[in-house]
Amino acid sequence: MKLVKDVEKDIKHKEKISEKEAEEAFVKIIKWIGEDPMREGLASTPKRLIKAFKEYFKGYNEDPNKILEKTFGDVQGYDDMVIQKNISVQSHCEHHLAPIIGVAHIAYIPNSRVVGLSKLARVVEVFSKRLQTQERLTMQIAKTLMDALDAKGVAVSIDAAHQCMTMRGIKKEQATTVTNYFLGQFKEDLSYQNRYLRFISK
């Protein structure tokens, strides 16, 4: 329920700023970097940025719990882990608004019901399309799946490059960051955790 309230709060906050005001802000930034916002190549850039930002940050308007509402009970007693590997992640860091590009791996152990496979990737998408830290993103995905699916266990791993680190600052182009978060049986039973880690490393 907290996530729904957060989404509603974010929507109300966003409505206080009009698209025209946002465009004017982008015009000021273009001027600030030393460019002419009226020249041919930049004249429509503020409008394009509005459109792009709507896509980059559409996760604020989506509720991941609704995505996971429909589950299936006809699994004939299946009770081992379900793993989805190599889910693409495109997000933006909250410190510099620089892209975070990588992959996520998800596993869950069903209690009595499973969810459609595409829904796992959609949950990753919802949380990725917000300003993020990788640590929080990993935890949000895991906790949402655990609660919404009443799962026996959830594991989430993300391996991503942060362009705030590769393009600026220390500029280490090959560096990636790996985060893991384990809940339920994945946290309590290392045999599950080790199997999961072996599967995603193949």
Choose the catalytic residue: 93, 132, 140, 185.
Answer: 93
Catalytic residue selected from 23, 84, 163, 164: 164
Reported residue count of the chain is 202
What is the DSSP code (8-state) at residue 121? H
Catalytic hit among 84, 90, 94, 163 = 94
Q: Which of 105, 132, 140, 162 is an active site residue?
A: 162
For tokens 């680190």, what's the residue?
165
Catalytic residue, from 24, 95, 135, 188: name it: 95
Has 92 been annotated as catalytic?
no
- Looking up tokens 């599967």 gives 199
Of 23, 90, 96, 163, the catalytic one is 96
| Rounded distance between C-alpha atoms, residue 146 and residue 143, angstroms | 5
User: Is 13 among the residues known to form the active site?
Assistant: no
**Is-catalytic flag, 23?**
no
Q: Catalytic site residue 94?
A: yes
Catalytic annotation, pick one of 134, 140, 185, 193: 134
Catalytic residue flag (residue 95): yes
Residue 164 falls in the annotated catalytic set: yes
Which residues have C-beta within 8 Å of that of residue 119, sequence separation ≥ 6?
Answer: 67, 68, 70
Is residue 135 within 8 A of residue 166, CB to CB? The reply is: no
Active site residue ranges: 93-96, 134, 162, 164
